[in-house]
Structure 1
Amino acid sequence: MAQYQTLLYYCYSPIENAEQFADQHLAFCKSLGLVGRIIVADEGLNGTVSGTPEACKAYMEAVHADPRFAKTEFKIDDVEEPSFIKMHCRYKAEIVHSGLRDPKIINPNIETGKHLEPQEFMEMKDQEDVVILDVRSNYEHNVGKFKNAITFDIDNFREFPEKVKELEHLKGKKILTYCTGGIKCEKASALLLKEGFEDVYQLHGGIIKYGKEAGGKDFEGECYVFDNRVTVPVNSVNPSVISTCKNCGKITSKMINCANPICNEHFTQCDECGWEMDGCCSDACKTHPNKREYDGTGYYVKVPQPVNIDKISKRKHKKLIKN
């Protein structure tokens, strides 16, 4: 048995007094010795937690024992060490940032795309009348995506609704949506249906489940995950690497965060450039006075930054270092 496990899950289910629930749930997770990141909202739960197999088993049993979350499906990975440093459980407006907060308009518990199991998705994805749609952000699909998938140039999922208009010419096709674990597709597919797309599907359990149950066939590259593993391999059938080093162009699957905390850009960087650039995406970031110490991993524990650390927004900063 593995020394540790990491659980990835979500559940759209209304939670009364969600803010209070988040505090209580944090205490419960800490009592089990778990580490991870959980988002609690009025609409449900979204989390990744890590700990011993015994602690993970106790956590899954407790979640399933609550009638509100009985339908929760956990994706389980065996890992050599915990995938987080600390335990966080926070209340937010949504369990995945989309800007689609009104349950009267978009509600995955009422209407969403047809769920396809991994084997069904694999059998359907190459049909002539099918379009594969990646609903994730740039830094995610840059390091790995399904062969022939449509991707959007977006920095976060909040930008997805505005991009749907670009798909108008595909309304007669079968739209197969996918994301890391399925949570974004619940709202993305619901939005597509609302916008007049009639034949909409979603990969149940996302890329992670597809890798476990269908061998990850035709998924190119690796899958970005929101913990200190950063990316994980998916394809054991016909694996490939599609990402290249931002600095030198060398093929690499290693993704890091820029050592400049103001930038913090997700990008791919080979080991050689990592040490040469000190874990930074640009020379401008390399000389930033608040640059974090690079240890070869490019993963940094999130810490609050002083308000006056820099008055430039991340978006403006990225524009500056590009010019």
Structure 2
Amino acid sequence: MSSPTSTVPSPPVAGTAGLITLDRLIDEAMLLLHAEEVEIASLEALEHRHVTLDERSIGHTGIAEMTIRADWADLHDLDTAVALIAEALKRDGSLESLDVRRSQAVGILADPTRALALINNTEPPPPSKSIVAYVHLDHDVIEGRGLLAHDEAGHTLLADRIREWLTRGDRHITIRPVINLNDHCDGSEDTGHHGRQGPDPYVPSFLTAEKVRLRNPTCVFPHCTKKSRSCDLDHLTAHTRTGVTCECNLAPLCRHHHQLKTHAGWTYQQLTPGTFLWRKPHGQTMLVTPTGTRDLTDP
């Protein structure tokens, strides 16, 4: 009489796999069972790729955060390049940690020619990157006694961080005279660059454009945070209706909100320099200042 054969059951995969393996197995099962839904989700994921610098994360140390969501192949290539530069920095004597060297590599990659020279251990070319920064320093900071400085966006920074940036050799630094934003124009026609009549009276001079963008660092549409340096400069009173091209008649509007103002019935006026009262097509009113938006609509 033969004895019954016994079998040892295989352990369940879910009980032995780690989280990464389990996620992969679930993903594979979804591909087999719900291929159409997975394809739709993949297309949606592609639409949400982005590289975003979080301006709100900038603290007094001058350190900020950036998030990246991209195709895996692109991220893998970027990670490889970052690793190569971090290793080259160590080769050249850097005593920073690996994480710090990898963060420095991101800035170096912004200058591809320099990055390639560093990886290949060849003579680096002259810096191709440039930066224009408006930093407000009081007298104590200039004499080395103060600790804090402020940039055009209102961020408070350590003065030592500003000095460190100025000593870096990987970029051109442009230093410009301080622009007095309290020195407002008298409403006369813009005379172009450096006081000379410009070729197109509709286009503001460099100085006028700088004053407008420094006065309002973002688009002046309610709640918009688009940087004014990428915005149109809108004539509050249209140039075709004798509106002059001067800081008293200009405001930064991003392209989308510029079109809303032009075609969708939104109107606004400047109450004081940099402060605007907006009226929606249905009568609501919003007050916009350089520090934010306030709803003035009577509830």
Flag the structure with higher helix content. 2
TM-score (norm 1): 0.26
TM-score (norm 2): 0.27
Greater relative CO (CA pairs within 8 A, separation 6+): 1
Q: Over alpha carbons, which structure has the higher Rg?
A: 2
